[in-house]
Structure 1
């Protein structure tokens, strides 16, 4: 990872602006983070929160705290309050009974459609060069929205910054180096293959849609340079690790890193050391890949 002194020393006040943009399903709430002192070289970032495709929002720490921290380095950031699938509780995820899915218009492709609309609005406002990133479910949406943008609108972000994402419809087998880290509390809270399957099915609502909603295992050629950042003690490392390998296999530029001694969702804890390390890693990567017009 290149050393970028500007990331560590440049701090500025940030103001926020809440408004809505037009989307296929109606108005989409967004929040723009506007640095008081924007660096000329800093290309904006569209950041997407996680929450299993069924929870979270603009005030979620994984959305607000991350965006504010990145914007504090002098880089404009936008967050998106995309439509959420119906919520499942931990008992629903852990249950062995068949998953009963109620009809909902907020399942796939509602979320990536909203993300695409938020990006297109930004591009039309003059931000033709931008990064896209997200955490957990948001990392998945960052990739699927980017693929849709490239295919339909000819918009290609400069890069993707992805944290502990779920890129596969079914959790890949856990490498031994990951399994050995899932002990104690980390093992008790980790997603199991069964609970992950129930979460992804709840998101799409129809098993036939799983392949198009999850980029893992699909043709990844043409994606921009990508940072894949995983939590050390997290079963979703199996998905991030495999996704990074798939990117390399098609010749994409990918940087893969593990934030040691961390659990899934560490960017949702802004007072933690792991949050600060994650923000520093993303900021340095973004600085290294800035290519202003």
Structure 2
């Protein structure tokens, strides 16, 4: 069901899936911050599957960043492209709107750039209103992508070029602007105390995995309850390929994790 939530930069389109279950997941698609929408399998198919399993899902059409190299394209209009922190503000508005006054858990999650956005928003919130748990699928979390040559060499196909760490760094800088600080946009390397419990599901052959490796270590060092899985043989964006073994495994993991959330 489509709806809008009023945010500080205007209405934020959302879709609601489910029938009033005991737990709600606010879910953010990926796309390098500058592409993606609510029709992506990574958004719609994931939400449909989880709703069928008893988890209410709210997908968020957060504001996209400018196109890399074309910063003035698509900037006009009420949903024009904008840099950080507009997308984060959109997500915070949706979380606030769906925070239930009762004891039902509210979870936040995302895939790829959506995972980074979810973690950054979580870190920025006061402890009292942070989500009760965070699901991070093949995310990246550092403004400068950690390098692991062995992992980079294992990437195949077009992503060997498009996901080269140097290009990932350019996409990250595109989110915030050339000279803007990055500390609120990328949670890696910063204070993670009071971060809620987290489920991380990553792909073995993914240039972004070294950032996930480091972020998982940072969370554990901060004392966070982290459940982490690196799916053997998997490639980036497996949730965009419904019905594949990697997608099915990840959905099974998040279903079990979400339904086991304690009440507040």
Q: Say yes or no: TM over 0.5.
A: yes
Quote the Cα distance in structure 2 between the aligned partners of 1:137 and 1:281: 20
Which is further off, 79-88 or 217-226? 79-88
Counterpart of 1:62 in 2: which secondary structure? Answer: coil
In the alignment, is the contact (CA less than 8 A) between 1:101 and 1:205 conserved in 2?
Answer: no
State the shift of 1:271 in Å.
2.9
- Equivalent runs, 1:184-263 vs 2, <5 Å: 184-185=156-157, 188-189=160-161, 191-263=163-235
State the shift of 1:209 in Å.
2.0
1:163 to 114, 137, 140: 137
Query: What is the root-mean-square deviation of aligned Cα atoms in Å?
Result: 2.1
In the alignment, is the contact (CA less than 8 A) between 1:44 and 1:127 conserved in 2?
Answer: no
User: Structure 1 128/156 Cα, relative in aligned 2: closer, same or farther at 3 Å?
Assistant: farther
Q: Aligned pair 1:29/2:13, yes or no?
A: yes
Give the aligned partner of residue 136 of structure 1.
112
User: Structure 1 280/46 Cα, relative in aligned 2: closer, same or farther at 3 Å?
Assistant: same
State the shift of 1:32 in Å.
0.6
Give the aligned partner of residue 121 of structure 1.
97
Unaligned ranges ≥5, structure 1: 1-16, 89-98
Quote the Cα distance in structure 2 between the aligned partners of 1:66 and 1:206: 34
State the shift of 1:207 in Å.
3.5
* The structure with more helix, counted as a fraction of residues: 1
**TM-score normalised by the chain length of structure 2:** 0.90
In the alignment, is the contact (CA less than 8 A) between 1:227 and 1:285 conserved in 2?
Answer: yes
Q: Aligned pair 1:281/2:253, yes or no?
A: yes
Counterpart of 2:146 in 1: which secondary structure? Answer: coil
User: Structure 1 190/55 Cα, relative in aligned 2: closer, same or farther at 3 Å?
Assistant: closer
Quote the Cα distance in structure 1 between the aligned partners of 2:141 and 2:64: 17
2:23 to 9, 32, 43: 43
Deviations 1:37-74 (CA, angstroms, capped at 9, x unpaired): x55xx311111111000111111111111111111111
- Equivalent runs, 1:99-114 vs 2, <5 Å: 101-102=71-72, 106-114=82-90
Give the aligned partner of residue 174 of structure 1.
148
Give the number of the structure whose alpha-carbon radius of gyration is greater.
Answer: 1
State the shift of 1:125 in Å.
7.2
User: Structure 1 74/128 Cα, relative in aligned 2: closer, same or farther at 3 Å?
Assistant: closer
Q: Aligned pair 1:84/2:64, yes or no?
A: yes
**TM-score normalised by the chain length of structure 1:** 0.81
